Amino acid sequence: MSLGKWRTFLLIVLASLTLGLLSSSSELPAYRDEEVYIGCGAAYVMNLTPPISCNFEHPPFAKYVIGAIYVLGVSRYLFLLLYALSCSLVFLTVYEVSRSYAVALLPSFLLLLDTVFLNTFRFLLLDPVAVFLSVLSTYLLLVGRLGSSALALGLAVASKLSSAPVLLGALYVVQRRRGFGGVACYTSVALAAYLATYLADLQLGLGAVVEHHVSMLTYMSWRHGLSLPIASIGFLKLLTKVEVWRCVGDIAVVVGTEPGGATYSISPPPANYYVLVGVGLGTALWYALIPLLLYLTYGALVSKYPRSWGTLVLISWLSMLNVAAGPIDWYYANTLPYLYAVASLALRELSGSRFKVVALTTLTSQATLTALTLAGVAPYRIALTV
């Protein structure tokens, strides 16, 4: 890597860390899921609790990371570092396929300024670890370091199964490069890395590992099973940044955890009570992401662009499978790095010699919206009931 790329890489890291630290006092929403992961992660690390006994719903690796850094007291700072490194890896990835600093800087700074992406890394969720490792794996895949790519991707899937679509894309690329022998080697390394995170379960016997996966997949089929209404809401949010929910039935709020805690019943809303929610409004390019992806997809299909561009296009489409599970903010963190990467390449092709002007205009509007959102002037969410 040249000295110039190292300097740019470090610049993005420092910019990301600065923005992450500034966001700590913002009014961005909080995610309570981290409480479960902190408790189980600490139990994994301090008590050697088998993952099957605590939060079997997800693979264990990210919870080991969360538990270890929480015990050391550096958890928030390390996750901000993962956010910074993820943005920087997008720069390296796009530079690898474009050989242009301007084209590579645009997606990394768009991702850095995206409030949905930023807010995901402010909490000790599973997705930040999975996203960082999957983006790292994609970069290593593009530079030809297949063994390291497989190792990183195996740990990404062992953090959360949301990285599995990236694995499908990687296997296709490896098959094109190295044939089925290469696929076998890549899969073996990724599988070994994945299974190594279940050693605590294995101490209970091989049956515990099998039972863990059966329970995990059963839960996922129930909790995240394909539902066309939920999937449509997920993709609608991807296209428009708007969630649409229809409220029906009784709503009960239970206060307290002790037996006999007070229960407040709220009268059911009318059958046609809808809530429209605009989410993560500090983003300028969101509405152009899918059209730009379609544009580059066509070019890749007719072999207009290098195969490396086609790799990013393929992984972008596959990563969007995450939003079929619904419009949860952190699902989008898994796909945004790839969508911004493809968007920058497409903008270069469309704007030609005016690319720097387009990029600067886009980044300026993005930075303005993000600053207003973090300052509380522009809301992160706007809800409208109809």
- For residue 3, give the amino acid letter: L
Q: Please state, in angstroms and as integers, the Cα–Cα distance from residue 326 to each residue in 47, 317, 331, following that order.
A: 34, 16, 8
Give the per-residue pLDDT at 273. 53
Q: Please state, in angstroms and as integers, the Cα–Cα distance from residue 337 to each residue in 3, 92, 130, 214, 342, following that order.
A: 24, 12, 12, 31, 9
Enclosing domain of residue 46: 3-385
Q: How many residues does the chain have?
A: 386
Residue with tokens 């490792």: 133
Give the per-residue pLDDT at 386. 62
Give the per-residue pLDDT at 260. 45
Give the per-residue pLDDT at 13. 85
Q: How far apart are CA 310 and CA 56, in angstroms?
A: 36
Residue 381 CA, distance from chain mean position: 20
Sheet containing strand 242-247, strands side by side: 242-247, 273-279, 381-385
Q: How far apart are CA 150 and CA 73, in angstroms?
A: 30
Residue 102's contacts (CB-CB under 8 Å, 6 or more residues apart) are 355, 356, 359
Q: How far apart are the first and last CA of the chain?
A: 55
Q: How far apart are CA 333 and CA 158, in angstroms?
A: 17
The answer to whether 373 and 279 are in contact (CB under 8 A) is: no
Listing DSSP states for 40-97 in one string gives HHHHHHHH---GGGS-TTS-SHHHHHHHHHHHHT-HHHHHHHHHHHHHHHHHHHHHHH
Domain count, the chain: 1
pTM of the predicted structure, to 2 decimals: 0.89
Give the per-residue pLDDT at 217. 87
Q: Which residues pair with 285 in a beta bridge?
A: none
In the DSSP assignment, the letter for residue 252 is E
CA quadruple 27, 29, 30, 33: dihedral, nearest 10: -170
The answer to whether 119 and 138 are in contact (CB under 8 A) is: no
How does pLDDT run along the chain (386 residues), one tens digit per residue?
566 777 888 888 888 888 888 787 777 888 888 999 999 999 999 999 999 999 999 999 999 999 999 888 877 889 999 999 999 999 999 999 999 999 999 999 999 999 889 999 999 999 999 999 999 999 999 999 999 999 999 999 999 999 999 999 999 999 999 999 999 999 999 999 999 999 999 989 999 999 999 999 888 777 666 677 777 778 878 887 777 666 554 444 434 444 444 443 444 444 555 566 777 776 778 889 999 999 999 999 999 999 999 999 999 999 998 887 777 788 889 999 999 999 999 999 999 999 999 999 999 998 998 888 888 888 887 776 66
CA quadruple 313, 58, 215, 166: dihedral, nearest 10: 10
In the DSSP assignment, the letter for residue 111 is H
Residue 300's contacts (CB-CB under 8 Å, 6 or more residues apart) are 309, 310, 313, 314
Q: Are strands 273-279 and 242-247 parallel, antiparallel or unpaired?
A: antiparallel
Residue 257 CA, distance from chain mean position: 33
Token pair for residue 127? 């997705």
Give the per-residue pLDDT at 282. 65
Residue 2's contacts (CB-CB under 8 Å, 6 or more residues apart) are none
The answer to whether 75 and 63 are in contact (CB under 8 A) is: no
- CA-nearest of 257, 252, 224, 250 to 323 is 224
